[in-house]
Structure 1
Amino acid sequence: MSNIVCFDIGGTFIKYGLLSNEGHLLLKDKVATPKSNIQHLLPELLCEKVKDFQKNYPISGIGISSCGLVDHEKGEILFSNNIQGYSGMKLSEILSHKLELPVSVENDVKSACLGEMWKGAIQGKRNVVFLTLGTGIGSTIIIDGKIVSGSMKLAGELGHTVIEMDGRPCNCGRKGCYERYAATSALVIDYIKEKKKNGEVVERISGEEIMLLALNQDPTALIVYKRFIHYISAGLANITHLLNPEAIIIGGGIADQAEQFIQDINNELKKEIMDIYDKGSIVYSAALGNDAGLYGSGYIVLNNLNQLKE
């Protein structure tokens, strides 16, 4: 029985693994992402890992989940600001030529969403929105089981929808973008500012630490946490009214901290949406964690090869 070699390429690490066509992650590991000469070193590194697997396992394809804007039809990295020199790499073409295997390449958030649909929190659902909360907001939209890509493969940038007119400046050049209020980085900035109002200086703190403080009823943390929940839910209400998804999945380190976080979002969202849209909880925490991109990249390859076993 053949297997798929899966990669999840990030700015710091490349996670990789061996996936069976039943969806079992048989082996996994990670390696540092090359910091220079990426056009040469990255393909060589990926080929080396595939050849290592081929010594002991039959391999029928390669799936790649990658940071950056991706043209999945061409398997090309359109743009990446996380890896210097990565933009424009024809990754699928290079690897398929070197290894004589089919190669599929997709954006990391989109891959993670497919992974969650296949083996994670939203199995069996076909109309889904997936958000990852971090420095910004990564997002993807699934309609009828298919990724919505748009005419230029750029659809789904929900983090750059505006929820506050003339609000906080965003790196995209606009003001009031959703991610300036609902990303984990926004929670941290808000907490530091709130502390400063009280004459306290906080130089460094994580979103996870603020979440823990809020759950332990710290007054300042509670203020910013409740505001954070409101902003997240306001954006999700827009998404719900626009797309009417079966489920909204939230991933990222902060979403792994507590079931209370997801429950609070669902409770606030019910206040924001029209009654007709309220069918109970529709927001879920991602279940596969850091492995979601590996599962999703494998799913794409198996689907393309007609080897997918649900």
Structure 2
Amino acid sequence: MDYIICFDIGGTFIKYGLINQKGQMMFKDKALTPKHDIQTLLPELIIEKVKLLQNDFAITGIGISSCGLVNHEKGEILFSNNLPGYSGMKLAETLFKSIELPVVVENDVKSACLGEMWKGAIQGKQNVVFLTLGTGIGSSIIIDGNIVNGSHQLAGELGHTVIVANGRTCGCGRRGCYERYAATSAFVNDYIEEKKKQGVILENVSGEQILQLVNEKDPVASMVYKRFISYISIGLVNIVHLLNPEAIIIGGGIAEQTEQFIQDINIVIKKEMMPIYHNQKDLVFPSTLGNDAGLYGACYLTLKKFSHLQV
């Protein structure tokens, strides 16, 4: 059987795995992401892993899910603020010259979205929006089974749509962006600020820890949580009215922490959506593939591009 070796390149780790044409993960591991001279060390690392696995498996392609803005048609990294020196790298071309296997490169959030569509939470659906809540909001849009890339591969930045006029300053240069209110980091910062008003200074707290306080009926955590759900829902209702998706999938640690989080979002958006959009019980679902979603998506794209997979 033929196999695709897939890599998910992040700022700290590079996860990699071997997946067959049926979408079965046969092997996975991870390595540290190079912190310097990345245009030399990253290809070397990938080639090393490929050659090692070629000793035992018939590898027919390389699928790469990567942080940063990606031109998937050329396999180039347009921009990355996580990895110094990574911007502008011709990743697919560099790897092909060394190892002569077809290479597909795509943005990590887009890859994760396709992974969930192929083998995860959104199997069988063709019109989907996928968001990851973390330091910011990563997002991807699928229409008729295909990623929406836009004219310059930049489509789908839902985190930088404005939900509060003249609101909080965002790293993108605008004010009031969705991710400044609905990312996990915003949730944490809001809680820290509310505790500061009470004279309590917090330095280290996670979204998951705040959710635990919500479960324990802590009044400050509960207030901040209710506001957080409201902000998330504002953006999601805008998405529903704009794109009319079959499903919205939310990934990230906080979304996978508790079923109640997703249930609370569904309750609020049902109150805010126009009634004609109420055509199913729930619209929002948690990611089910977790950290493996990007690997599955990279495999899916590689199989699809080189006609090993009928979709």
| 1:1-310 matches, cutoff 5 A | 1-279=1-279, 280-308=281-309
- 1:287, CA displacement in angstroms? 0.2
Q: Does the residue aligned with 2:302 lie in a helix, a strand or coil?
A: helix
Deviation at 1:166, TM superposition (A): 0.3
Q: Deviations over 1:178-217 (max 9, x none)?
A: 0000000000010011111222111210011111111121
Deviant stretches of 4+, over 3 Å = none
CA distance in 2 between counterparts of 1:234 and 1:263 reads: 15
- Cα distance per residue 1:285-304 (max 9 Å; x no partner): 00000000000000000111
Shift of 1:74: 0.1
Q: Give distance in 1, aligned partners of 2:265 and 2:139.
A: 17
8 Å Cα contact 1:23/1:309 also seen in 2 = no
The Cα offsets for residues 118-148 of structure 1, whole Å up to 9 and x where unpaired, read as 0000100000000000000000000000000
Counterparts of 1:127 and 1:4, CA distance in 2 = 26
Count of residues paired in the alignment: 310
- CA deviation map 1:210-260 (0-9, x unaligned): 111111211110000000000000100000000000000000010111000
Report the TM-score, using the length of structure 1 for normalisation. 0.99
Which stretch shifts more, 196-205 or 175-184?
Answer: 196-205
Secondary structure at 1:77 match in 2: strand
Local SS of the residue matching 2:254: helix
Instruction: Tell me the SS of whatever aligns to 2:187.
Output: helix
Instruction: State the one-letter code of the partner of 1:167.
Output: G
**1:21–1:309 CA contact under 8 A, matched in 2:** no
Instruction: For 2:251 and 2:38, locate their aligned partners in 1 and report how far apart those are by CA, in whole Å.
Output: 28
For 1:158 and 1:198, locate their aligned partners in 2 and report how far apart those are by CA, in whole Å.
34
State the Cα distance separating 1:150 from its structure 2 match. Answer: 0.5
Alignment RMSD: 0.8
Q: Distance in 1 between matches of 2:11 and 2:196?
A: 33
**Which digits, 9 at most, give the CA deviation of each residue in 1:256-283, with x for residues without a partner?**
1100000000000011110001122110
> 2 CA distance for matches of 1:131 and 1:112?
10
Distance in structure 1 (CA, Å) of the matches to 2:216 and 2:105: 43
2 CA distance for matches of 1:79 and 1:266? 34
Superimposed CA distance per residue, residues 78-120 of structure 1 (whole angstroms, 9 cap, x where no aligned partner):
0000001000000011111111110000000000000000000
Instruction: Give SS of 1:186's match.
Output: helix
Partner amino acid, structure 1, of 2:283: I
Say if 1:2 and 1:60, in contact at 8 Å, map to a contact too.
Answer: yes
TM-score (norm 2): 0.99
What's the secondary structure of 1:123's corresponding residue? Answer: coil
Please state how far the C-alpha of 1:176 moved relative to its aligned partner. Answer: 0.3
Task: Output the CA distance in 2 between the equivalents of 1:309 and 1:143.
Answer: 18
Distance 1:261 1:172 in 2: 28
SS at match of 1:6: strand
Structure 1 residue 309, shift from structure 2 partner? 6.2
Q: What is the alpha-carbon distance in structure 1 between the residues aligned to residue 310 and residue 287 of structure 2?
A: 22
Letter paired with 1:269:
I
